[in-house]
Structure 1
Amino acid sequence: MVKAWSVEWPEGLLPGDAAWEEITRQFVDAENDILITNEMPFGFWQPTRRPFDVHAAREWAALHERALDTLSRLPVAAVISSRPVFTGNRLVNEGFVLIEGRYDFLHQKHYFPSEAGWEEESWFELQRPGFDVVKVAGVKVGMLICTELMFVDKARHLGKAGADLIAVPRATGVDHRMWKTAASMAGIASGACIVSSNRVGSRPGSKLVFGGRGFTVDSDGFEVSTTSAEKPSIALEIDLTLTSAAKCRYPVYVKEPDPTDSIVPTFRTAS
């Protein structure tokens, strides 16, 4: 049985620093497991204000490029994460999986908030649309990056495509209510387990605070566990018999209307 790990990693994390060495020690017995990191986990969070800062974007993308080797050396079967990739005009937020050092594309973020602290709409664009399911360490995996968790139709789509696990990297604040509600609905709608990770802490001098609290939700939509300062890494066992059975329960089995079907109006005559 494969475990999927949720984490809360510190704001400003750098590959190879003291915090990273402590993180590595948390996975010494996880060689068969899948680790889901928080959203774009390295360095300080950049899209805090408008306008788009080309110089900061280039540096942030380069940091994540350099960190791929560090991520690939974690003692787990697979690492699922996201990173900023500079496109020449803006960034894309690209989800990926690392398996034995091999980089495979998973997904690009589609939905971008636009508010103080999260001015992603002016920093990011989408170049490769789609919400697909791939096999990772024997588990069918889909990905929703942060805000995408709010769109339950995307979770349902991934469940219909066979996902056993939906990985949700986040970069969210201290109010966790909406995120946990959305994760429960995603599990209910998809019949998949939801594993989400978040960054924690703040940049010196910044009022923006990330709230940590990575969490796991089972395929019935029940929260199983949550990270904390005392326990920054938690694991959920993915039972494929349960996720398979969940695909047959309400409301996952409910068929959607066929858009090609013509709707013929009915009229009632006055009696």
Structure 2
Amino acid sequence: MVRAWSVEWPEGLLPGEAAWEEITKQLGDARNDILVTNEMPFGFWQPTMRSFDIDAAREWASLHERALDSLSRLPVAAVISSRPVLSGNRLVNEGFVLMQGRYEFIHQKHYFPSEPGWEEEAWFELRRPGFDVIKVAGLTVGVLLCTELMFVEKARHLGKLGADLIAVPRATGTDHRMWKTAASMAGIASGACIFSSNRVGHRPGDNPVFGGGGFTVDSDGFEIASTSPENPAVALEIDRAITSAAKCRYPVYVKEPHFKS
């Protein structure tokens, strides 16, 4: 079995500061575990306004590039996260895994919200399409970045590829109802465990307000644990025998229709 973690990390997080040291302590003896971070976890959230700011985007991308070293030093076997990467005149939101200091691409975000506080459509683009899985610490893992969790067919697709774990880094507000419902459906449709992490807090005097509430959902779609200010990191053991068996139950086993022309 492999233990994985969901967390809530503070808005404006910088590696090396006091909050980062506390995060390291929370993990304790987790050397064989997988950590799922929130979406683009470092610095203040940038796409709050519809006008794209190339200087702010460049600095945000640079901060995450520098922070890879700190992520790789966390006391875990693997870190699954996402980061902004400059791509021409826009950013891409790139999901990745760090294993033993090695960086491996997983997935770029496909679906972008466009509303006050989350003006990602104006800031981001997609350069590498596809929803694939990767082997991480003995598990088959897929990633759905925040809004992508709302598209249950993508979770089902990852389940068909054998996913034991679907990591969902996110940056969402204080209402968790929709996200937990979507995660339950993702677990039911895929037969995979869903691990989601979120940022918490807000930039002083600014919106949006991020609501924390990282959570774990098992392969039957039941919520198992949720983070809180008092308990900002929660862990769950994933048993591959259970996730493999889940691929044979309803509705995961139901075949896609094939029509003859």
TM-score, length basis structure 2: 0.99
Asked whether the equivalents of residues 48 and 207 of structure 2 are also in contact (C-alpha less than 8 Å), the reply is: no
1:49 equivalent in alignment to 2:28: no
Q: Which runs of 5+ in 1 are unaligned?
A: 263-271
* Paired AA for residue 215 in structure 1: F
1:124-139 matched pairs, under 5 angstroms: 124-139=124-139
CA distance in 2, matches of 1:50, 1:243: 41
Letter in 1 for 2:160: K
| Aligned-partner Cα distance in 2 for 1:150–1:97 | 22
Q: Which portions of structure 1, spanning 4 or more consecutive aligned residues, are displaced by more than 2 angstroms?
A: none
Q: Matched residue of 2:31: which SS?
A: coil
Equivalent position of 2:29 in the other structure: 29
Identity, in percent, stands at 81
Counterpart CA distance in 1 for 2:162 and 2:135 is 10
- Distance in 1 between residues matched to 2:109 and 2:235, nearest whole Å: 25
Name the residue aligned to 2:113. 113
- The structure richer in strand per residue is 2
Distance in 2, Cα, partners of 1:2 & 1:143: 17
| CA distance in structure 1 between the aligned counterparts of 2:192 and 2:170, rounded to whole angstroms | 18
The CA deviation at 1:207 is: 3.1
Deviation, 1:79, is 0.2
* Equivalent in the alignment of 1:221: 221
Computing the radius of gyration over CA atoms, which structure comes out larger, 1 or 2?
1
Offset of 1:26 from its aligned partner? 1.2
Residue in 2 aligned with 1:267? none
Number of equivalenced pairs: 261
For residue 147 of structure 1, give the secondary structure of its aligned residue in structure 2. Answer: helix
- Residue 209 of structure 1 corresponds to 209
CA-atom RMSD in angstroms: 0.6
- Once the two structures are TM-superposed, the CA of residue 88 in structure 1 deviates from its matched residue by 2.2
1:146 matches 2:146: yes
Task: Give the alignment's TM-score, normalised by structure 1.
Answer: 0.96
Instruction: State the distance in 1 between where 2:120 and 2:208 align.
Output: 15
Corresponding residue number in structure 1 for 2:59: 59
Cα shift at 1:18? 0.3
Q: Secondary structure at the match of 1:84?
A: strand
Alignment of 1:1-271 (within 5 A): 1-259=1-259, 261-262=260-261
Q: Which moved more, 1:24-33 or 1:117-126?
A: 24-33
